[in-house]
């Protein structure tokens, strides 16, 4: 059976062409699958019956399977999804007054071993397919449509207005599948999101950042976390390959492609590690040529992490130093912490972690 979630628009057109059907039928199908969340060909009433029969014989719409569905007291909802062979990934929906953000995963685990990240500790198993990535959106849309028990806010269905690739995995280490999924998010006939509402977060894989700006320049968040190479080498080990100076140059190139935009620098606040006033001042220096905002993320603990979150006061002072230098800085609200749905807490289930060392060499 061919899973239609694996096909972008052109691939779907080519697929149905094999059965002698015209491109407009792909448009009909896309509307049913993505607009209405329909996975039963029999229900696609305006699609010709003979075409439906052909599809039933050869194709299906198969999202990842839900293993657990947790709803936090603050309305955040987290799904653990089974992607086969005892591997699990996580997606998180974060409702706010004026938007609904879905945080999705790009890999089973992650090979990059940032020391403060639970996913990094899990090791790496494999890349997700484009269908497994877009399938997280498809599934969340379907589940949210029927949700009415959420933080007292009554609305018509739960609409996903923003997508962030900040779940498990390093999206740019799974470039081809991630870009296909991003293109599907932006495609008018699929999800039709504007590229400003789709954010990819990377630990800084420079060659892939350069490629992304040509292929699909969505909003970019860069996980900086340290103001100097000595510290960044330790906590974000990929820095040894792509050091800060080169990373800043790559950020500038990315922005030059999209002049009205800015880079969001993510900075996890680790007590006594990267949170001093002096380090904030150093940060101002290193980012001075990059149009940017800072998102300070209070460290979210997980068992045996070996880190503590900076004090509230320290985080506020750190923020003030950046703001006084004219850099917009926000402190990320921690959501869903009662269900371990906060940044860096997504652990999923990762089997066969032995592949990690092999993968590091290849990114
Ligand atoms: N691999 C990508 C995207 C996934 S991680 C990246 O690293 O950017 C999304 C964000 O959560 C990153 O900024 C990451 O550094 C941050 N993060 C990881 N572990 C965290 C933790 N325990 N507490 C707070 N933020 C964390
Ligand atoms: Fe991977 Fe991002 Fe976690 Fe680093 S912070 S280990 S790149 S998921």
Q: Give 85-125 pLDDT, tens digit per residue.
A: 888 999 999 998 889 999 999 999 999 999 999 988 888 99
List pLDDT tens digits, range 172-227: 999 999 999 999 999 999 999 999 999 999 999 999 999 999 999 999 999 999 99
Q: What is the pTM of this model?
A: 0.92
Residue of 223, 233, 268 to test ligand 2 pocket, by largest number of atoms within 8 Å of CB: 223
pLDDT at 156 > cutoff 60: no
Q: Answer whether 161's CB lies under 8 Å from 101's CB.
A: yes
Q: How far is the CA of 20 from the centre of ligand 1 (A)?
A: 46
Domain boundaries in the chain? 2-60, 65-362
Q: Is the CB of 93 under 6 A from ligand 1?
A: no
DSSP E strand stretches across 224-291: 263-269
Higher pLDDT, 144 or 338: 144
Q: 50 CA to middle of ligand 2, Å?
A: 47
User: Does 139 or 334 have the greater pLDDT score?
Assistant: 139
The best mutation among 108, 118, 119 to test binding of ligand 2, ranked by most ligand atoms within 8 Å of the C-beta, falls on 119
Q: What is the CATH number of domain 65-362?
A: 3.20.20.70
Task: Please tell me if the CB atom of residue 120 comes closer than 6 angstroms to any atom of ligand 1.
Answer: no
> How far does the centroid of ligand 1 lie from the alpha carbon of residue 166, in Å?
7
Atom of ligand 1 lying closest to residue 309 CA: 23
Residue 117 CA: nearest ligand 2 atom is 3
Q: Is the CB of 340 under 6 A from ligand 1?
A: no
pLDDT in tens, 306-349: 999 999 999 999 999 999 999 999 998 877 766 666 665 666 66
Q: Decide: 343 in ligand 1 pocket, CB within 6 A.
A: yes
Q: With beta carbons less than 8 A apart as the criterion, state whether 296 and 254 touch.
A: no
pLDDT score at 164: 97
Whether residue 347 has its Cβ less than 6 Å from ligand 2: no
Report the chain's terminal Cα–Cα distance, integer Å: 32
300 lines ligand 1 (CB under 6 A): yes
**Residue minimizing CA distance to atom 17 of ligand 1:** 344
Backbone angles phi, psi at 166, to 5 degrees: -130, 15
The structure tokens listed for 127 are 């890349």
Backbone angles phi, psi at 13, to 5 degrees: -60, -45
| Cα(19)–Cα(26) distance, integer angstroms | 12
Quote the ligand 2 centre to 86 CA distance (angstroms).
21
The predicted structure's pLDDT at residue 354: 46
pLDDT at position 362 over 50: no
CATH 1.10.8.640 for domain 2-60: no
Mean pLDDT of 158-177: 93
Which two three-digit tokens encode residue 280? 């904030």
From 90, 83, 85, select the one nearest 119 (Cα to Cα): 90
Give the other-Cβ count within 10 Å of 109's Cβ: 29
Give me ligand 1 centre to Cα 128, in Å.
Answer: 18
Atom of ligand 1 nearest to the CA of 345: 22
Ligand 1 atom closest to residue 110's alpha carbon, by position in its atom list: 1
- pLDDT given at position 283: 98
**Position with higher pLDDT, 360 vs 192:** 192
- How many Cα neighbours within 13 Å face the side chain of 240? 10
């Amino acid at each position: 059976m061919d899973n239609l979630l694996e096909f972008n628009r052109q691939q779907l057109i080519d697929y149905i062409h094999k059965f002698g059907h015209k491109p407009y039928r792909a448009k009909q199908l896309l509307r049913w699958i993505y607009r209405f969340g329909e996975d039963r060909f029999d229900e696609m009433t305006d699609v010709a019956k003979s075409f439906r029969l052909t599809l039933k014989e050869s194709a299906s719409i198969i999202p990842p399977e839900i293993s657990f569905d947790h709803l936090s007291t603050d309305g955040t909802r987290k799904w653990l999804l089974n992607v086969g062979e005892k591997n699990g990934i996580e997606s998180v929906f974060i409702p706010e007054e004026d938007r609904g953000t879905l945080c999705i995963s790009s890999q089973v685990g992650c090979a990059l071993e940032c020391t403060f990240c639970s996913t990094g500790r899990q090791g790496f198993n494999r890349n997700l397919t484009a269908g497994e990535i877009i399938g997280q959106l498809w599934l969340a849309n379907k589940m949210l449509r029927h949700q009415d028990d959420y933080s007292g806010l009554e609305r018509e269905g739960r609409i996903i207005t923003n997508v962030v690739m900040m779940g498990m995995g390093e999206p740019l280490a799974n470039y081809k599948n991630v870009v296909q999924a991003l293109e599907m998010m932006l495609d008018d006939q699929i999800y039709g999101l504007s590229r400003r509402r789709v954010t990819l977060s990377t630990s800084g894989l420079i060659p892939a950042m350069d490629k992304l700006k040509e292929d699909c320049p969505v909003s970019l968040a860069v996980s900086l976390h340290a103001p100097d190479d000595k510290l960044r080498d330790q906590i974000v080990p990929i820095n040894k390959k792509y050091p800060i100076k080169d990373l800043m140059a790559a950020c500038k190139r990315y922005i030059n492609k999209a002049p009205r935009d800015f880079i969001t620098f993510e900075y996890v606040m680790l007590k006594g590690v990267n949170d001093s006033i002096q380090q904030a001042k150093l940060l101002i220096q290193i980012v001075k040529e990059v149009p940017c905002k800072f998102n300070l993320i209070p460290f979210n603990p997980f068992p045996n992490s070996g880190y503590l979150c900076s004090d509230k006061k320290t985080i506020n002072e750190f923020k003030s130093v950046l703001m006084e230098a004219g850099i917009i800085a926000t402190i990320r609200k921690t959501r869903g912490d009662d269900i371990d749905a906060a940044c860096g807490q997504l652990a999923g289930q990762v089997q066969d972690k032995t592949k990690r060392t092999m993968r590091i060499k290849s990114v």
